[in-house]
């Protein structure tokens, strides 16, 4: 209808936050200083499971500079309700018992951090030890103690066709997700059925920026500056647990220094608010890296897959049982369980899918959202097993995948939206890049894998607004949080392109929940695919408004006009907009404003009540060299690729794929929280908890962003940032088998594990080997494989 000047979208634009970040002036929550602000430190439980018999804070209160001390007693007095994503099970501070080592049991606000630390040292805690439930296996043991004697309240997400969820289905299981689709008799038609068990280790998000908030409870209102990336969810939860109206809680978010899922919903904000309310002063609560390890983590998992195939490699049926280690509090576990369970089919066609996924409570760090969100666990198991089956059947793993991949446009499962990438095209790309099928050096092996997840969140609404000053300076209002992923740059680029104005003219102010349009949160790679649509709609409506206005001023039809850098063009005539606006609205000005909205439509026929917004896919090809003496795996080449649909910002997309792949590398080779038998977390700093260093990067490391053009976001774009992580671990495990003939089914792929497998396999090779042998019994990995009839 109305036209916009053909100002080409510029994917090579510099990040809008580059100047502040490179000059050190960027403002993170950690940088917020309020007048009279106190500093808080917390006392953490030394026990993983114990009753709290008493906490004596008398001496702590007497330390000079101490302004407030809180324990569970103050939580109870102030009637602060427990918080939680779905199940409201986590008190602001431990009440009668502690459920994991590191749980907060007291907090002090003082004039300085030093005074607060001194005070903490004087707090005396009396524990009565309880048996510790330190693992999934222990938690499911019939004799295990229950973490919660009476189940906390929560609500179950409503499901449509095929899927269902239950809260507290069994002791120490807080949620169970079940999903079945297709023909249950399919297994009986299979030539082979394989059962394998996989173990998924547990990472910590390891963000550069710590968990931090500044809370001010003065004046009957709450002002919170937080490193959260779900400001509206945090606002709602704080309002709920403190019994305040939502418009008495303002959440401010500037820049966030990395999250990978960790900084969602409520973290330590209730503690800071309690201290602020008691002291009458603003309170800053900034965690250390070590404390971050005791705040949130990924879900460890045990996954049992039973997969039925035809002898030609066609995948037919899959039944899965997934146990997620949720730690001591439920957090996002129900949603992670739903996603892990739902995504277990991977990018393949099946006749039957049956899935059961349980959240198991243990006396360990609570697990929450983590980049990949259930898909990491599912992909690790599924892509390992597909590869194992291919090798067992003597089928080339590439061919095995190729013959089973979903086609472009084919629904993931019945009722779902169609796949919006050509999966084979991506697989071929990474295979070609790594030289799949070509001769390789001795001791080297190549593995492939595909990670596959629905993106954009469940039924997630996003609102955005654009306003433009009389001079053409653009404000983008949206609550998508800049976590480093470049969302604000990309969304600003969308506005600039739609309005045909230079990117430098678009400004996106920090999030303020009082003013910013509502957004469910910056997660599930939703920035461009969900918020991007809302932003593009707002900009497009604004453009229409402006052209309609100009048409009225110029007494012509809007379709005769072209918007171009805050002028309108009619043929060769150029009319700057500012004078037209002043003519109509006076010298004091006016601002055009328009809203945009985006949300997957409810669809009761879809398994999760709404069709997925888009599909996020990561393809990987890894080449490894396995040192048979030490078990050391060296990734010599790594090719990862995601499909951006259309690239909004080249460097941002590349950065996402690279960063995700490196995180996948860490998961594959190094990372994993280690709890001792007492539930004490033993590796909580960069020396003990190994993350990939620059020297760990493969000598050849390639991240290729595809632009297949089928995304629902602006210009055909779709979400990035998680896909690249998903396939890395399984591609490496697959490469290890290719190189060394051993299959490791537990992460991380440490030298010890590989060595044990090599030793075990070596002892086997001394025995006669059946040429057709697909039976592997790797005790180290507790994997059992058997052929069905």
- Give the range of 38-46, 348-356, 593-601, 672-680 binding its own copies by CB under 8 A: 593-601
232 binds its own copies (CB under 8 A): yes
Binning the chain into helix, strand and coil, the percentages to the nearest 5 are 30, 25, 45
Which residues 625-654 are close enough to bind its own copies by CB under 8 A?
none
Q: Rounded distance, CA 5 to CA 571, Å? A: 11
Q: In the window 211-230, what residues touch its own copies (CB under 8 A)?
A: 218-220
The torsion angles phi and psi of 180, rounded to 5 degrees, stand at: -140, 140
Q: How far is the CB of 491 from its own copies (least distance, A)?
A: 15
Spatial separation of the C-alpha atoms in residues 236 and 249, rounded to whole Å: 8
350-364 burial, b at 16+ Cβ within 10 Å, e below that, comes to bbbbbbbbbbbbbbb
**Nearer to its own copies (CB atom), residue 243 or residue 409:** 243
Site for its own copies contains 590 (CB under 8 A): yes
> The tokens of 439 are what?
């001769």
Nearest approach, Cβ of 667 to its own copies (angstroms)? Answer: 28
- Does the protein bind its own copies through residue 477 (CB under 8 A)? yes
Return d(Cα 96, Cα 464) in angstroms, integer. Answer: 44
Q: Is 474 in the site for its own copies (CB under 8 A)?
A: yes
CA angle 261, 264, 268 (to 5 degrees): 120
Scanning 588-680, the segments in alpha helix (DSSP H) are: 650-669
Tell whether residue 517 is a contact of its own copies (CB under 8 A).
yes
- Residues 6+ positions from 32 with CB-CB distance below 8 Å: 214, 225, 252, 254, 284
Contact flag: residue 25 with its own copies (CB under 8 A): yes
Judged by beta carbon, residue 460 or residue 646, the one nearer its own copies is: 460
Using CB under 8 A, pick the residue from 394, 409, 414, 509 that binds its own copies. 509
- The helix/strand/coil state of 779 is helix
Our finding on whether 604 is near its own copies (CB under 8 A) is: no
> Quick check: 455 and 373 in contact, CB under 8 A?
no
Nearer to its own copies, 151 or 243 (CB): 243
User: 569: which residues sit within 8 A by CB, 6+ positions away?
Assistant: 5, 561, 562, 563, 575
471 binds its own copies (CB under 8 A): yes
Query: Of 243, 365, 381, whose CA–CA distance to 301 is shortest?
Result: 381
Q: What is the smallest separation between the CB atom of 777 and its own copies, expressed in angstroms? A: 45
Provide, rounded to whole angstroms, the least separation between the CB of residue 541 and its own copies: 12
Helix (H) or strand (E) run with residue 303 in it: strand 300-309
Stretch that binds its own copies, among 469-477, 566-574, 638-646, 676-684 (CB under 8 A): 469-477
Residue 239 contacts its own copies per CB under 8 A: yes
Q: Which residue has the tokens 């008799």?
A: 185
Q: Residue 752 CB, nearest distance to its own copies (Å)?
A: 43
Considering only 32-40, 97-105, 194-202, 376-384, which stretch makes contact with its own copies by CB under 8 A?
Answer: 32-40
Which residues are registered as beta bridge partners of 252?
225, 512
Helix ranges (DSSP H) in 343-374: none
By CB under 8 A, the count of residues binding its own copies is 64
Residue 524 phi/psi, 5-degree rounding, is 60, 35
Among 330, 463, 522, 708, indicate the residue that binds its own copies (CB under 8 A).
463
Per-residue binding string, its own copies, 135-174, x by CB under 8 A, is --------------------x-xx----------------
Among 602, 604, 786, 788, which residue sits at the site for its own copies (rule: CB under 8 A)? 602
- Build a one-symbol-per-residue string for 535-564: x at contacts with its own copies by CB under 8 A, - elsewhere: ------------------------------
Smallest gap from residue 588 Cβ to its own copies (A): 4
| 3-state secondary structure (DSSP) of residue 205 | coil
- Looking up tokens 């959440």 gives 251
User: What DSSP assignment string belongs to 57-123?
Assistant: -HHHHTSTTEEEEEEHHHHHHTTPPPB-SSB--B-SS--SEE-STT-EEEEEEESSHHHHHHHHHT-
CB of 568 to its own copies, least distance (A): 19
Based on CB atoms, which residue is closest to its own copies, 50 or 163? 163
Q: Is 751 in the site for its own copies (CB under 8 A)?
A: no
* Helix 487-499 × helix 532-553 angle, to 10°: 30
Q: Does 28 bind its own copies (CB under 8 A)?
A: no
The residue within the footprint of its own copies, chosen from 599, 611, 646, 753 (CB under 8 A), is: 599
**Is 282 near its own copies (CB under 8 A)?**
no
- The residue (of 34 and 702) whose beta carbon lies closer to its own copies is 34
The one segment of 388-396, 504-512, 539-547, 743-751 that binds its own copies by CB under 8 A: 504-512
Classify residue 536 by burial, with Cβ atoms within 10 Å: 0-12, 13-18, 19+: buried
Minimum CB separation from its own copies for residue 586, in Å? Answer: 4
Could you give the angle at the alpha carbon of 491 between the alpha carbons of 261 and 469, nearest 5°?
A: 130
Q: Enumerate the β-bridge partners of residue 255.
A: 28
**Cβ 48 vs Cβ 679: under 8 Å:** yes
Our CB check for its own copies shows the closer of 312 and 514 to be: 514
Pick one of 588, 763, 766, 767: the residue that binds its own copies (CB under 8 A). Answer: 588
What tokens appear for 4 in the block?
A: 């916009």
Binding string, 69-98, against its own copies, x = CB under 8 A? Answer: -----------------x------------
Residue 28 gets which letter from DSSP?
B
The rounded distance, in Å, linking the Cα atoms of 291 and 480 is 26
Region near its own copies per CB under 8 A, out of 94-102, 300-308, 513-521, 710-718: 513-521
Toward its own copies, which CB reaches closer, 521 or 532?
521
- Residues 245-264 within binding reach of its own copies (CB under 8 A): 245-248, 250
Closest to its own copies by CB, 17 vs 560, is 17
Stretch that binds its own copies, among 51-59, 140-148, 239-247, 758-766 (CB under 8 A): 239-247
Q: Of 190 and 462, which CB lies nearer to its own copies in the complex structure?
A: 462
Task: State which residue, 586 or 686, has the beta carbon closest to its own copies.
Answer: 586
Supply the minimum distance, in Å, between the C-beta of residue 730 and its own copies.
Answer: 31
Site string for its own copies, 94-133 (x = CB under 8 A): ----------------------------------------
Residues paired with residue 465 on neighbouring β-strands, in sequence order: 477, 595
The Cα 493–Cα 490 span in angstroms is: 5
CB of residue 457 vs its own copies: minimum separation in angstroms? 8
* Residue in the block written with tokens 């369970």: 341
> Exposure of 71 by Cβ count < 10 A (0-12 exposed, 13-18 middle, 19+ buried)?
buried
Residue 585 interacts with its own copies (CB under 8 A): yes or no: yes
Does 507 participate in binding its own copies (rule CB under 8 A)?
yes
Given candidates 467, 634, 690, 764, which one binds its own copies under the rule CB under 8 A?
A: 467
Strands (DSSP E) found in 207-282: 212-216, 222-226, 249-253
Q: How far apart are CA 351 and CA 181, in angstroms?
A: 8
How far is residue 700's CA from residue 689's CA, in Å, rounded to a whole number? 25
Cβ at position 696, least distance to its own copies in Å: 35
Q: Strand pairing partners for 569?
A: 562, 574
Based on the shown chain and the rule CB under 8 A, indicate whether residue 516 belongs to the binding site for its own copies: yes
Residues that bind its own copies (CB under 8 A): 19-20, 23, 25-27, 33-35, 86, 155, 157-158, 218-220, 232-233, 236, 239, 245-248, 250, 458-461, 463, 467, 469-471, 473-475, 477, 504-507, 509, 512, 514-518, 520-521, 583-591, 593, 595, 599, 602
């Amino acid at each position: 209808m109305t036209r916009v000047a053909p100002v080409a979208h510029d994917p090579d634009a510099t990040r809008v936050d580059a100047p502040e970040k490179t000059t050190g002036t960027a403002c993170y929550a950690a940088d917020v200083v309020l007048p009279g602000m106190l500093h808080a430190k917390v006392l953490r439980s030394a026990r993983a499971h114990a009753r709290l018999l008493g906490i004596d804070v008398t001496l702590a209160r007497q330390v000079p500079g101490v302004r407030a001390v809180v324990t569970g007693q103050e939580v109870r007095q102030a009637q602060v309700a427990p918080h939680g994503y779905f199940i409201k099970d986590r008190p602001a501070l431990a009440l009668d018992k502690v459920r994991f080592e590191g749980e907060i049991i007291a907090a002090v606000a003082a004039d300085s951090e030093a005074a607060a630390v001194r005070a903490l040292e004087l707090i005396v805690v009396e524990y009565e030890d309880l048996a510790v439930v330190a693992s999934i296996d222990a938690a499911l043991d019939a004799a295990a103690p229950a973490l919660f004697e009476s189940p906390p309240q929560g609500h179950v997400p409503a499901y449509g066709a095929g899927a269902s969820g239950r809260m507290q289905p069994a002791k120490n299981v807080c949620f169970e997700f079940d999903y079945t689709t297709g023909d249950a008799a399919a297994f009986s038609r299979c030539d082979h059925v394989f059962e394998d068990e996989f173990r998924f280790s547990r990472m910590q998000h390891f963000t550069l920026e710590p968990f931090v908030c500044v809370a001010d409870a003065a004046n009957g209102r709450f002002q919170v500056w937080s490193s959260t990336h779900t400001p509206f969810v945090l606002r709602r939860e704080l309002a709920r647990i403190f019994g305040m109206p939502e418009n008495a809680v303002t959440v401010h978010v500037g820049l966030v220094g990395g999250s990978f899922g960790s900084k969602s919903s409520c973290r330590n904000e209730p503690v800071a608010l309690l201290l602020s309310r008691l002291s009458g002063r603003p309170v800053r609560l900034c965690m250390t890296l070590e404390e971050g390890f005791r705040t949130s983590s990924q879900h460890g998992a045990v996954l049992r897959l039973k997969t039925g195939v035809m002898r030609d490699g066609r995948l037919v049926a899959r039944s899965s049982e997934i146990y997620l280690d949720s730690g001591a509090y439920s957090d996002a576990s129900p949603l992670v369980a739903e996603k892990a369970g739902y995504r277990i089919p991977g990018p393949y066609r099946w006749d039957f899918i049956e899935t059961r996924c349980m959240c198991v409570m243990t006396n360990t760090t609570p697990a929450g959202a983590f980049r990949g969100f259930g898909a990491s666990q599912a992909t690790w198991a599924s892509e390992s097993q597909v590869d194992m089956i291919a090798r067992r059947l003597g089928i080339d793993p590439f061919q095995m995948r190729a013959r089973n991949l979903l086609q472009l446009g084919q629904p993931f499962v019945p009722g779902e939206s169609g796949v919006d990438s050509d999966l084979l095209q991506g697989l071929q790309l990474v295979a070609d890049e790594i030289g799949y099928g070509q001769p390789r050096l001795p001791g080297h092996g190549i593995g492939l894998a595909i990670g596959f997840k629905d993106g954009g969140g469940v039924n997630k609404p996003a609102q955005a607004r654009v306003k433009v000053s009389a001079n053409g300076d653009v404000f983008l209002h949206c609550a998508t949080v800049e976590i480093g992923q470049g969302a604000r740059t990309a969304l600003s680029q969308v506005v600039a392109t739609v309005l045909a104005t230079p990117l430098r003219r678009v400004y996106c102010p920090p999030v303020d929940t009082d003013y910013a349009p509502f957004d469910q949160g910056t997660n599930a790679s939703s920035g461009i695919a969900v918020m991007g649509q809302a932003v593009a709609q707002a900009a497009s409506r604004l453009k229409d408004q402006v052209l309609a206005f100009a048409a009225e001023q110029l007494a012509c039809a809007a379709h005769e006009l072209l918007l171009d850098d805050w002028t309108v063009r009619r043929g060769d005539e150029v009319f700057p907009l500012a004078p037209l606006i002043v003519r109509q609205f006076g010298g004091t000005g006016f601002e055009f404003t328009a809203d945009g909205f985006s949300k997957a439509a409810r669809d009761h026929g879809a398994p999760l009540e709404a069709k997925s917004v888009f599909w996020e896919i990561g393809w990987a090809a890894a080449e490894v060299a396995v040192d048979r003496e030490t078990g050391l795996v060296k990734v010599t080449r790594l090719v990862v690729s995601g499909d951006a649909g259309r690239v909004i910002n080249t460097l941002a997309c590349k950065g996402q794929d690279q960063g995700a792949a490196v995180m996948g590398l860490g998961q594959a080779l190094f990372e994993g929280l280690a709890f001792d038998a007492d539930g004490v977390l033993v590796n909580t700093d960069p020396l003990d908890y190994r993350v990939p260093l620059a020297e760990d990067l493969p000598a050849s490391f390639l991240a290729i962003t595809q632009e297949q053009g089928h995304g629902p976001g602006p210009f055909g774009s779709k979400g990035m940032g998680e896909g690249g992580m998903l396939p890395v671990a399984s591609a490496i495990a697959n490469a290890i088998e290719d190189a060394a003939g051993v299959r490791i089914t537990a992460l991380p792929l440490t030298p010890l594990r590989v060595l044990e497998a090599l030793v075990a396999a070596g002892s086997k090779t001394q025995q006669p080997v059946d040429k057709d042998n697909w039976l592997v019994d790797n005790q180290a990995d507790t994997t059992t494989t058997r052929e069905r009839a």
